[in-house]
């Protein structure tokens, strides 16, 4: 059985008509996301590529307890983004410039002023953002990124730039925090070196530069996912290249090229 995960292309109104290599765009489709189907061993973690030609909706996700209360499923969503490419002027909106209460948040969503109240960050390849549940956020036009997230599809839209899609104002306002995004949850990732990007509470994520150190290997016990950003890795003789994602059962089956930049991730149990 292949270690590489099955991919799924997802059409989005804000997607792109021409995917970058190594992806292939289905004819006549506007693709916004490439999903890697979670394996049974790591079913609570989802990895995807995202490509935006237009602004995504302003949205928010519940945490596990809120999702359980609302839907009966413990499927909250925390996520993180690594910018892989962007057009000039591309930006990400996360949190707000100043605190605002629930009533003001709802009014701003209704009249469209929520966009101006959000904190927007210009992006470049290598920028990294962690988005806790309850954080209002929006991905701007011209951004391409890798997203690692809890495996959840619960999204509450606050504002969608006039697109004819359903909004979820009451649900969103009930879970959203009208707060600035903590500065410690965003950073520029150095081009070289081994870096821990996330260590809990729900998953961990590291960027490797060639083979992993003993310290990283000690933290990643059991199965984990590998996502090559550049270069490739080999799992039991099978090559996994940029644009792919694969399941690793344990370190003995994995070999990483000396010049490869690899993301590895697993849930925190």
- pLDDT tens string 166-192: 999 999 999 999 999 999 999 999 999
The arithmetic mean of pLDDT across residues 25-52, rounded, is: 96
* Options 4, 74, 91, 157, the catalytic residue: 157
First to last CA, the chain: 26
79 is in an annotated binding site: yes
- Annotated catalytic, 157? yes
pLDDT tens, 179-225?
999 999 999 999 999 999 999 999 999 999 999 999 999 999 999 99
pTM across the whole model: 0.96
- Find out whether 262 and 207 touch, Cβ atoms under 8 Å: yes
Architecture per CATH, 195-267? Sandwich (2.60)
pLDDT the model gives residue 269: 76
Element of type H or E holding 217: helix 214-219
**Burial annotation 80-103 (CB, 10 A radius, 16+ → b, else e):** bbbbbebeeebbbbbbbeeebeee
- Per DSSP, which regions of the chain are E strands? 7-16, 31-36, 45-51, 58-60, 79-86, 91-96, 118-122, 127-131, 137-139, 143-150, 156-159, 186-188, 195-199, 203-209, 224-230, 232-235, 238-241, 246-248, 254-256, 261-267
The CATH 2.60.120.10 portion of the chain extends over 7-188, 195-267
Q: Is 168 annotated as a binding residue?
A: no
CATH 3.40.50.800 fits 7-188, yes or no: no
> Is 199 labelled a binding residue?
no
């Amino acid at each position: 059985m292949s270690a590489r995960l099955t991919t799924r292309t997802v059409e989005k109104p804000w997607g792109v008509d021409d995917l970058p290599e190594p992806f292939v765009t289905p004819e006549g489709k506007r693709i916004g996301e490439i999903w890697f189907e979670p394996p049974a061993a790591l079913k609570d973690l989802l990895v995807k590529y995202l490509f935006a030609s237009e602004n995504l909706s302003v949205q928010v996700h519940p945490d596990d307890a809120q999702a359980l209360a609302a839907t009966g499923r413990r499927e909250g969503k925390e996520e993180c983004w690594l910018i892989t490419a962007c057009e000039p002027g591309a930006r990400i909106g996360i949190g707000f410039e100043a605190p605002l209460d629930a009533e003001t948040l709802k009014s701003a969503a209704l009249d469209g002023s929520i966009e101006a109240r959000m904190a927007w960050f210009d992006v470049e390849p290598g920028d990294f953002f962690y988005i806790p549940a309850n954080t209002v956020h929006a991905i701007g036009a011209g951004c391409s990124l890798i997203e690692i997230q809890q495996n959840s599809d619960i999204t509450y839209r606050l504002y969608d730039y006039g697109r004819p899609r359903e909004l979820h104002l009451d649900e969103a306002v009930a879970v959203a925090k009208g707060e600035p995004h903590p500065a410690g949850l965003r950073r520029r990732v150095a081009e070289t070196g081994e870096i821990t990007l996330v260590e809990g509470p729900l998953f961990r994520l590291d960027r490797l530069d060639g083979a992993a150190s003993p310290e990283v290997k000690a933290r990643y016990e059991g199965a984990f996912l590998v996502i090559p950003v550049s270069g490739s890795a080999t799992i039991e003789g099978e090559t996994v290249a940029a644009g792919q994602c694969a399941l690793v059962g344990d370190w003995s089956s994995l070999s990483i090229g000396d010049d490869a930049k690899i993301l590895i991730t697993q849930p925190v149990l």
